[in-house]
Amino acid sequence: METRELGQSGLRITPIITGTWQAGKAMWVGIEDEETIKAIRSAFDAGITTVDTAEVYGQGHSEEIVAAALSDVREQVVYATKVFANHLKYQQVIEACENSLKRLKTDYIDLYQIHWPAGTYGSEVVPIEETMGALNHLKQQGKIRAIGVSNFSRTQLEEAAQYGRIDSLQPPYSLFWRHVEKETIPYCIENQISILAYSPMAQGLLTGKFGPNHQFEAGDHRAKNKLFQGENYIRAQRALEKLRPIANRYQTGLGNLALAWLIAQPQTSAIAGVRSAEQAIENAKAPEIRLSEADLAEIDAIGRMVTDHLDEDPVMWSW
């Protein structure tokens, strides 16, 4: 699989990245460790050599599952993990990194990201200068190789960049969720900051597997996703019907069509979560799809059937 530079770090990442939120099990249903390990390894075997996790996914369980799947090929993989909003004081960042290193069974993290800005989800407001100071120290020690942020606005990104090099932004971004395009992506393009898009298939909505009357099981957080609610969901179903003929022309599924569109956007890679080996292998085929300029434009217009009606809140869930 082709690779791209992560920001200006010198690290090479794949356009499809294996996402492991579900590997932590918390807020998901029907997840089995053995199946997840097989899925992560199958993604690697199919050429996806970049994997994204976080300390908060199952309170470290996801990181342990990544290690179980990939420790024997560690030098061939780019590990990205994240420190949560409640660990952003200087010493907390240092300790969180050490804990992630242990769970990942490695002596360095390729990309270490601030998961949410300080102050979110009831966390303490910590000056970004303090957090960046800790991240810069870890980088100087060689414990991390690049610094990224997740769920930051353009203003927050600009402030963080005053205190050190930011090589990536991880926002929610898909054909059906495009808030980041308005202000933040132009800044990222100008400053060579890679976009690592999470929920690139809108948590499965863009695969077309959820019918008009779908109900999630108790405990599945996707029930709180705004795209699965009310008029948004009805518009999404209409848009999917218009996308199907395009997917058929490329002899691919709706999910891979959505991934192909996304990774064709400037400086953008897609973090695709996997539950099974079959999903991982299918995701790895997305970079082979070369969409024409006309089809990119048509897909863009179909996506706006959904996004033009969304509110201005960039958070995807109504928690």
Q: What is the DSSP string of the chain?
A: ---EE-TTSS-EE-SEEEE-TGGG-TT-SS--HHHHHHHHHHHHHTT--EEE--TTTTTTHHHHHHHHHHGGGGGG-EEEEEE-GGG-SHHHHHHHHHHHHHHHT-S-EEEEEE-S-TTGGG-----HHHHHHHHHHHHHHTSEEEEEEES--HHHHHHHHTTS---EEE-B-BTTB-GGGTTHHHHHHHTT-EEEEESTTGGGGGGT-S-TT--PPTT-GGGGBGGGSHHHHHHHHHHHHHHHHHHHHTT--HHHHHHHHHHTSTTEEEEEE-SSHHHHHHHTTGGG----HHHHHHHHHHHHHHHTTS-S----B--
Q: Which residues contact 10 (CB under 8 A, 6 or more apart)?
A: none
State yes or no: is 173 an active-site residue: no
Length of the chain: 319
Nearest to 276 by CA among 77, 18, 13: 18
Distance, CA of 124 to CA of 127 (rounded, Å): 10
Catalytic residue among 57, 79, 173, 233: 57
Q: Which amino acid would we find at residue 18?
A: T
Question: The tokens of 209 are what?
Answer: 């597997």
Positions marked active-site:
57
